Amino acid sequence: MALAILGNGMVINPQRLIEEMETLKAKGVDVSPSRIKISYAAHLITPAHVALDKANEIALGQGKIGTTGRGIGPAYTDKNARRGLRAEIFADMESAADLVETHVAQANLTLERIYWQPSLKPKAVAAEFAEHAARLKPYITDTSLYLHHALKENKNVLAEGAQGSLLDIDHGTYPYVTSSSPTTGGAFTGLGIAPQFTRRVIGVTKAFQTRVGEGPFPTEAFGAEAERLRGTGANPWDEYGTTTGRPRRCGWIDLVLLRYSARVNGLTELAITKMDVLSGLSQIRLCVAYRKEGKIYEELPLGPSHLAGCEAVYEDVKGWSDDVSGARAINDLPQAAREYLNRLEALIGLPIKMISVGPEREQIIVIGN
């Protein structure tokens, strides 16, 4: 029986978590503590964090990061400043009420005096958190210990991050990054498990490139080309932000960044998604290097933070007109699609083990074991 673990590396909005649990429960999904476990060390997102996040984006104006406005950055700021609220407070919310009120009062100083934004009511937020505590207290446990025992018993653990490697706080396109580590290393620290338990590291990438928010994007497409990759928004799998609804920036696949991500994460294999989106294109572009200040770079010049000013160097490959959404084996794909995948493997240096050709679970081609 599978269960979900919310690790210590997460920041959790308790209200949204409860709402999601209620949605699942209404669909007949078991959301009892036997199926969901929350690390006592996970940090909590409060209404103050959300207010600070939105206020900061407003203040930055044209220089904004492009956050989702959900309070993630401010929650991690408090975590690293050693003043955050952890899920363990739900074990004794009566004693922790003062902590919540103090947290909101401190945030109010910043909201009022720096951002000129309205303040929040500390006691109201504390009362709200007391309600969350009553619901979530049974779920709080030592998830690191639980996972350790599971791995010792050779059980399978699938770790999933929330964002791409290029948004990693250390290894991403700083400062246009998230506040955590969605790389392989972040999985270990974010779950409290040791690296030696790792068997496979699967790099999941779209057949083209996307970006949410601001920051450099050497292979970005514009106009009709970008719209072709993005979709109209009529389908839930089109390239529009799940939180904000804003259109994602789209472009051609960037093999320089993929090689970098493979190295940073220690990838053993690749899974290519959205192959079906490329059907109907007569030509597909692969970014194989960058040109910057007259020099050609096949690897990142001084890391992803130095992508600004990089011009993509492309290799063009033949596209295909066939609809690939019905393919279930590699030989079901047209020859041009297979040649495209072979070229990706050669340029990245990793085998492609999975290919998705549509939004449904069964629309996947698995290669080998």
**Which residue did the predictor score with more confidence, 46 or 233?**
46
Count of domains observed in the chain: 2
What are the pLDDT digits (tens) for 267-299? 999 999 999 999 999 999 999 999 999 999 999
- Verify that 221 and 133 share a domain, yes or no: no
Provide the 8-state DSSP code for 288: E
The token pair that represents 195 in the structure block: 């690296």
Dist CA 276 CA 326 (whole Å): 10
Task: Please say whether the beta carbons of 257 and 339 come within 8 A.
Answer: no
- Verify that 99 and 221 share a domain, yes or no: no
Residue 180 lies in a domain: no
Dist CA 369 CA 367 (whole Å): 7
Residue 75 lies in a domain: yes
- Verify that 209 and 139 share a domain, yes or no: no
- Verify that 127 and 268 share a domain, yes or no: no
Residue 259 lies in a domain: yes
Of 118, 135, 152, which one is at a domain's C-terminal end? Answer: 152
- The pLDDT value recorded for residue 11 is 96
Task: Please say whether the beta carbons of 115 and 56 come within 8 A.
Answer: yes
Task: With cut-offs at 50, 70 and 90, classify the pLDDT of residue 307.
Answer: confident
What are the pLDDT digits (tens) for 324-359? 999 999 999 999 999 999 999 999 999 999 999 999
- Verify that 226 and 143 share a domain, yes or no: no
Reduced to 3 states (helix: H, G, I; strand: E, B; else coil), residue 6 is: strand
Q: Is the peptide bond before 175 cis (omega within 30 degrees of 0)?
A: yes
Residue 253 lies in a domain: yes
Report the pLDDT averaged over residues 130-147. 96
Percent of the chain with pLDDT over 90: 77
Residue 176 lies in a domain: no
- Say if residue 70's pLDDT is above 80: yes
Of 96, 129, 152, which one is at a domain's C-terminal end? Answer: 152
Average pLDDT, the chain: 93
Report the pLDDT averaged over residues 72-97. 93
Report the pLDDT averaged over residues 2-8. 95
- Verify that 205 and 134 share a domain, yes or no: no
| CATH code of the domain covering residue 224 | 3.90.170.10
Q: Which domain, by its residues, includes 22?
A: 4-152
DSSP notation for 339-369: HHHHHHHHHHTS-EEEEE-SSSTT-EEE---
- Verify that 209 and 143 share a domain, yes or no: no
Provide the 8-state DSSP code for 11: E
Reduced to 3 states (helix: H, G, I; strand: E, B; else coil), residue 327 is: coil
Task: Please say whether the beta carbons of 305 and 264 come within 8 A.
Answer: no
Query: Helix 47-60 vs helix 122-136: angle between axes, to the nearest 10 degrees?
Result: 120
Of 135, 152, 169, which one is at a domain's C-terminal end? Answer: 152
- The pLDDT value recorded for residue 57 is 86
Residue 362 lies in a domain: yes
- Verify that 229 and 347 share a domain, yes or no: yes
- Verify that 25 and 124 share a domain, yes or no: yes
- Verify that 212 and 295 share a domain, yes or no: yes
- The pLDDT value recorded for residue 63 is 65
| CATH code of the domain covering residue 27 | 1.10.300.10
Dist CA 85 CA 44 (whole Å): 6
Beta pairing partners, 206:
273
Task: With cut-offs at 50, 70 and 90, classify the pLDDT of residue 146.
Answer: very high
Reduced to 3 states (helix: H, G, I; strand: E, B; else coil), residue 138 is: helix
Residue 194 lies in a domain: no
Residue 174 lies in a domain: no
Closest CA to 337 of 329, 264, 369, 287: 329
Dist CA 285 CA 273 (whole Å): 16
Reduced to 3 states (helix: H, G, I; strand: E, B; else coil), residue 95 is: helix
Closest CA to 315 of 350, 345, 340, 352: 340
**Predicted TM-score (pTM) of this structure:** 0.83
- Verify that 210 and 148 share a domain, yes or no: no
- Verify that 134 and 210 share a domain, yes or no: no
- The pLDDT value recorded for residue 235 is 83
Task: With cut-offs at 50, 70 and 90, classify the pLDDT of residue 214.
Answer: confident
